[in-house]
Amino acid sequence: MPTARETLLDAALAALTDRSWSAIRMADLAAAARVSRQTLYNEFGSKEGLARALVRREADTYLQGVRTLLAAPAPPERNLVAVAEWTVARSAARPVLRALLTGAWNERLPAPRPLRPGARPAPVPAQRRADEGPPAPGELVAATAACAGERWAAGCELAVRLALSHVVAPAVPTAEPGREPQCEEPESWSPMTPMITSVIEMILRVETMSPRKTMP
């Protein structure tokens, strides 16, 4: 059964589908999660604390997904391609994760800063970690590569960076004259194009030919 904390984070994430972060009210989130406002403030301290926790959970969930894919019983290059494909699909479906990986935040999303120096630490251990602030894109990519272990970190980083180049693909023209170019719809980003997948497989297959390399 989900905890009150997880239920509140789920409610905050759901609210972002049709409202900007600035328009989301703490009272509405407490009502949606069926908890008291006091419980919400006990867990997160403030709306800014909730934002930090939401962003931290997105990063942690993404990294756990990467670890699961790397542990699959498949050729190493296939697992790394799966990480790249999943990075694109997950980024398309989760705007907060996309912003974390690319640094492309906008006014609709929470973009929290770390807890200010000298502020009282949160009583909840999970919140103390969240209050350290979200990882920068480079830090999250490095953490993703580290999931593959020392021998495969470079290959994993390559796969993720190729995936992110697909996520941040340039805008494409629209058919209507006089309108601004529009980015591709998220659905068109997943799965990755066969060309990018084959490039990753080709490069990583060369790396896997060395008998001393094994996936962790």
Other Cβ atoms within 10 Å of 133 Cβ, number: 13
Examine the pLDDT at 116 and tell me if it is beyond 90: no
Lowest mean pLDDT among 48-57, 116-125, 192-201: 192-201
pLDDT of the residue at 65: 96
Here the tokens at position 164 are 């992110």
The total of structural domains in the chain comes to 1
- Using CA of residue 156, residue 162, residue 164, residue 167, what is the dihedral sign? negative
Contact yes or no for 132/115 (Cβ under 8 A): yes
The b-or-e profile of 20-31 (16+ CB within 10 A means b, else e) is ebeebebeebbe
pLDDT band at 206 (very low <50, low <70, confident <90, very high): low
pLDDT of the residue at 183: 44
CATH number of residue 46's parent domain: 1.10.357.10
Examine the pLDDT at 186 and tell me if it is beyond 50: no
CA dihedral 138, 141, 143, 145 (to 10 degrees): -130
Q: How far is the C-alpha of 208 from the C-alpha of 213, rounded, in Å?
A: 6
Task: Calculate mean pLDDT across residues 205-215.
Answer: 50
Decide if 213 is inside a domain.
no
Biggest alpha carbon–alpha carbon distance for the chain:
58
137-174 pLDDT tens trace:
999 999 999 999 888 888 899 889 988 988 887 544 44
pLDDT of the residue at 207: 55
Decide if 214 is inside a domain.
no
Q: Across the chain, what does the average pLDDT equal?
A: 83
pLDDT of the residue at 196: 65
pLDDT of the residue at 216: 42
User: What is the 8-class DSSP label of residue 26?
Assistant: H
Decide if 30 is inside a domain.
yes
Decide if 76 is inside a domain.
yes
CA dihedral 45, 47, 53, 58 (to 10 degrees): 170
* Residues spanned by the domain of 141: 4-208
Q: Which residues contact 208 (CB under 8 A, 6 or more apart)?
A: 75, 76, 77
Decide if 215 is inside a domain.
no
Q: Which residue has the higher pLDDT, 203 or 18?
A: 18
Secondary structure of residue 182 in the 3-state scheme: strand
> Residues in the chain, how many?
216
Decide if 187 is inside a domain.
yes
pLDDT of the residue at 51: 95
Decide if 77 is inside a domain.
yes
Whose CA is closest to 153, among 101, 216, 73? 216
Q: How far is the C-alpha of 80 from the C-alpha of 76, rounded, in Å?
A: 6
